[in-house]
Amino acid sequence: MVFGWTQIIMDLQPLWVMVQGHGHIHGFTHTFLGACLIAVFSCLTGKYLSEIGLRVIGVSKAINPIRISWNIAMVSSCVGSVSHVVFDAMMHADVEPFFPIFMDNPLSGVLSVSSLHKLCLYSGLVGSGVFYAVQWRLKRNKMIYDKHND
């Protein structure tokens, strides 16, 4: 959830530029420096917003609430913001990921947009498969443990 929150924060500046009709679409928020600042903000706000969101949708209960550790929140926000810059830099020529050091975009065109979309799709499918395999394994181990302790 913190990763997703980070994606939203990253794209608020481009949304603002599109609504206003002027400015640099992929400005400071799409630089590594901007991504680091957004990661800190997203970590600090996203941890608490995610915990509240889990309670609102009923996944987390007041008796035994789900807590998101600071380490997980920071890793999620850092991976979210840095990967966002990398993928957008590959896709959009106007991204300046290394601003203010230099204004070039050496990542532009490293992968075609089609290949980048496939990479995201396939990595999402693999990640989903791993997630459900781990969940299945944990449930299976719990059933075996419960059976032996009856």
What is the pLDDT at residue 103?
A: 92
- Averaged pLDDT score across all residues of the chain: 92
CB atoms within 10 A of CB 72: 15
Nearest to 84 by CA among 22, 24, 5: 5
CB atoms within 10 A of CB 29: 21
What is the pLDDT at residue 145?
A: 72
Q: What is the spatial distance between Cα 101 and Cα 91, in angstroms, rounded to a whole number?
A: 21
Q: How confident is the model at residue 59 (pLDDT cuts 50, 70, 90)?
A: confident
pLDDT tens digits along 66-109: 899 999 999 999 999 999 999 999 999 999 999 999 999 999 98
What is the pLDDT at residue 150?
A: 64
Give the SS3 label for residue 150.
coil
CB atoms within 10 A of CB 37: 13
75 touches 46 (CB < 8 A): no
Task: Report the predicted TM-score, pTM, of the whole model to 2 decimal places.
Answer: 0.83
